[in-house]
Structures are given as C-alpha cells and as structure tokens.
Structure 1
Amino acid sequence: MTYCVGLLLKAGVVLLSDTRTNAGLDNIATYRKTFVFEEPGERVIAIMTAGSLSVTQTTVARLEEAVSDLEPNPERSVLMAPSMLQVAQIVGRTLSEVSAEIRERMDRSAQSASASMIVAGQRKGGGMRMFLVYPEGNFIEATADTPFLQIGEHKYGKPILDRVVTPETSLSDAKKAVLLSMDSTLRSNLSVGMPLDLTVIAADALRVTEQRRIEADDPGFQEMSRAWSRALRDGFAEIKV
C-alpha cells in the first residue's frame, strides 16, 4: 500500500509520498512514488502514484518517453500540453491505456491491476492546479472547498487535514500538516513506510522550490512526531465529560 497527499494553496503546492511497496509481509521494498517534469521558468509538473507498481512504473515510463521523443507529440507530452487540464488528460489517458493492457494479461491469472495518481503543477501564464486521476483515466480537481487530495491509505491522515488546511495556509504550515498526516498514517498502517519524499512548488516559481527525502532517523521528523503525540495526550487529558 502507500500514502500520498497533496495540498493546493494560494502560496503553492505541497506534496508528500511514502516509498513502501509490498506484495505480502515478506516482500517489502522501497520505490520512489513522486516524479517531476520540469522546464524552469516555463512549467513544472509533479506526479505522485499509488497502486499496482507495474501499472505506475509503466505509465511514468511512457510519459517520460513521450517527453524525450525526438519528435514530441503535444497530445502525449506533458511538457507540450497547453494547459494543466490537458496535462491531466494526457496522464489519465496513459494510465487508462496501461491499466487496460496489464489488466487484460493479469485477468488470466485471476489478478487485478489498479492505480491512481495525483498530478499538480503550473505552466507559464496559468494558475496552479491539482488533479486526482483514477485508473479509468477520469479525474477530479482540488478546489478552494477541498484544497487537498489523497491516494492510497488515506483515512488515518485525513482528520488533521480537514481541521487545519485552508487555501490560505502558509507553505510552512502546509509542510507541517502533511508530515503530521503521514505520521498518523505510519502509526496506524504498517503497509506505509519511510523514507518520505517531500516536494514543494511555490506559486509562480515555475520550478520545484524544495525537494528532499526524509529518512526514518531524521531528527526533525522524529521530534515533530513526539511533539504531536504530547499535544494529543495533553489535549485529551484537558477535555471534560
């Protein structure tokens, strides 16, 4: 399983993904789930993936191939699409095609293949946008009413986002929110695991402004986790019934 979360704010986009994949308790591995397509000053696109590893890896590989093609096709290359909406359409179409191909082969062995993606970014002259792309290729968009999207094992990390995240949330507070959302998920589901990949795209920067990997022994993340646990215990003790 996995957990990926993205926040769409007036100040920019904050994205966080774990890196754990598993096919059973004895087959656990680490794979990157955040991918960036970037032309600094022109456009920046980040994609987070969840679900079948064969589907997500093949989809990303095809998107990368379309970008690097000697004669790139605007209908296939996310770096040539004239809008973020059309970027989401390209990703959705590619994901749907790959899902159908792999599902057809796997159905013969009574297996299934499914994956979803969060696509976020901005092109020059356009606004910052973020979409959740489903296995069938259709998608929904983050809005001011719901400024965050999640894929994978999302239920444990959703309450804090519902309570604290608004479009006016600062990038600093947004990073704290996604990290605490992930911390709650890590504590409740063993199929989500470290290390974590954090990506920040400031509004109108048209490039990734922060990208780092957070390891299990990261002192800042550990202290944040301990402080959150203390705050929850203290708040629980203060409530009267």
Structure 2
Amino acid sequence: MTYCVAARLSAGMVFLSDSRTNAGLDHISTFRKMMVYEKAGDRFMVLLSAGNLSISQSVREILQVEKVDNGDGPPITIWNAKSMFDAVRVLGAAIRRVQEQDGAALEANGIDFNAHMIFGGQIAGEAMRLFMVYSAGNFIEATRETCYFQIGESKYGKPILDRVLTPLTPLDEAAKCALVSMDSSLKSNLSVGLPLDLVVYQEGRLQSEQIVCIDEHNPYFRMIRGTWGQRLREVFEGIDAPQWDAGTAALHPLLTESPRFEAMRKIHNLSEKVV
C-alpha cells in the first residue's frame, strides 16, 4: 500500500508520496510513486499513484506515448495538450488501455484492477488544476471547497489536513502540513514507509527546483517527527481531565442531564425470582 497527498492552493501546489509497497509482511519493497513531467516554460505536471504496482507502472510507461483522438486535429498527448483537462483525459485513456490489455488476466488470477492516481500541474495559458483519477479512467477535479486529494492509506493523515489546509494556506505551511500528515500515517500504518518524494510548485513558474527525496536522515523531517509528537502530548496534557461533578464547581462537567438520551443500563433486582 502507500500514501499520497496533493493540494492545490492559491500560491501553488504541493505533492507528497511515500515509496513503500508490500504483498504481505514478507514482501516489502521500495518503489517511487511519483513521476514529474516537465517541459520548462510550457508545462509542469506531477503524477502520484497508489494501488496495484504493476498496473501503475504500466500506466506510467504508456502515458508518455498515449494519444487521444482530437477530431480533425493532431492526436492529443500529455506533451501537446492545451489544457490539464485534456492531459488528464490522456491519463484516463492510458489506464483503460492497460485494463484492456491486462484486466482479463488479472481477473482470472483473482486480482482486482486497482489503480488510483492524482494528477495535477499547470500548462501555459491556463490556471493550475488537480485531479483524482479512478481505476476506470474517470476523474474528478479539486475545487476551492475541496483543495486536496489523498490516495492509499489516507485515514491517519486526514485530520490535520482538514484542520489546517485552505486555498489561502502559504506553500511552506502546506508542505509542513503534508509532512505532518505523512508522519501520522507512518506512525500508524506499516504499509506506509520512507523514503518520501516531495514537490512544491509555485503558481505560474511552469518548472520547480523544490523537489526533494526525504529519507530517515533528513534533518527537517526528523525535526517534524520529534516536534509533532512532543507538541501533541503537551496539548493533550493541557486539556482538563473529565469532571464528573455537575455542580457549580466544575467548569466543564462531563456528567450532565441530557434532554434526548439517558444511559442504557439494566439493574438486577435481587427480589425478583429467576424462573
């Protein structure tokens, strides 16, 4: 399994992925889940993948040469697409081609066609766009209301994203938030693991120098892991313990009467005879 997250913000985009894949506890390996497609000054696109590794690797290879019919014009590829919408259509076609080629054989061996991807970036002449792509090749697009996507083992890293990320979040803050989200996933799930790949893209640049591979020796990520755990404990310890006194002495009493519910309890009456 894996964990990937990407966010589209007003200032730019952030992409982060781990690199662990496993087929049981005895078969754990490292494979990169991120691919950057860049033509400086013209387009900058990032693909993140989760699910069956053989499917996602096949899709990545086909994507570079896949074409989509364009009526009377030349076929559309990721390298000549005029919009990110057309580029993600090419990705969807690549997924469907792999399904046509390998789907029946996978099904015959009891393997689901499982591939989820995040694809985002910017092409000259249009705004940044971010898409979640499903196994059928269909997709949805990020909006201001939902400015990030996750794939893979997403549940452990979601709470911090929901509390922190908005379209106005600065890029460095968003990168920090994504790394904290990843640390939470690393802490709670063995199927997510180092090294990590991080890309931070500034709106309008059509290229990026902020691309880094993060391993266990990376000083910033080591600081994140230690500081986040310590601050969580400090915040937890700063929260009052449950106050069972419903009187005026308790600022936040836990034991109070509820107008809708009462405790679900059965009390044994010793005077009743058991037949």
Does residue 184 of structure 1 match 2:178?
no
CA distance in 1, matches of 2:167, 2:221: 24
* Structure 1 residue 87, shift from structure 2 partner: 0.9
**% same residue:** 44
Number of matched pairs: 236
CA distance in 1, matches of 2:208, 2:132: 20
Bigger fraction of residues in strand: 1
The residue that corresponds to 1:130 in the other structure is: 130
2:204 partner SS:
coil
Write the letter of the residue equivalent to 1:225: R
Does residue 21 of structure 1 match 2:46?
no
CA distance in 2, matches of 1:193, 1:122: 29
Moved more, 104-113 or 133-142: 104-113
The residue that corresponds to 1:144 in the other structure is: 144
Write the letter of the residue equivalent to 1:21: T
Residues 36 and 47 in structure 1, CA contact (< 8 A), matched pair in contact too: yes
CA distance in 2, matches of 1:55, 1:207: 28
The residue that corresponds to 1:79 in the other structure is: 79
Residues 142 and 149 in structure 2, CA contact (< 8 A), matched pair in contact too: yes
Instruction: Output the aligned Cα RMSD.
Output: 1.4
Deviations 1:139-171 (A, max 9, x none): 111111111000000000000000000001111
* CA 1:75–1:237: 2 relative to 1, 3 Å: farther
Residues 75 and 90 in structure 1, CA contact (< 8 A), matched pair in contact too: no
TM-score with structure 2 setting the length? 0.83
Extract unaligned runs of 5+ from structure 2: 68-72, 243-275
The residue that corresponds to 1:12 in the other structure is: 12
By relative contact order (CA 8 Å, sep 6+), the higher-ranking structure is 1
1:156 partner SS:
coil
Residues 113 and 135 in structure 2, CA contact (< 8 A), matched pair in contact too: no
The residue that corresponds to 2:232 in the other structure is: 232
Moved more, 118-127 or 98-107: 98-107
* CA 1:123–1:152: 2 relative to 1, 3 Å: same
1:194 partner SS:
coil
Does residue 153 of structure 1 match 2:153?
yes
TM-score with structure 1 setting the length? 0.94
CA distance in 1, matches of 2:86, 2:162: 29
Write the letter of the residue equivalent to 1:188: S
The structure with more radius of gyration: 2
Moved more, 95-104 or 180-189: 95-104
The residue that corresponds to 1:201 in the other structure is: 201
Extract unaligned runs of 5+ from structure 1: 68-72
Write the letter of the residue equivalent to 1:227: T
* Structure 1 residue 40, shift from structure 2 partner: 0.6
Write the letter of the residue equivalent to 2:171: L
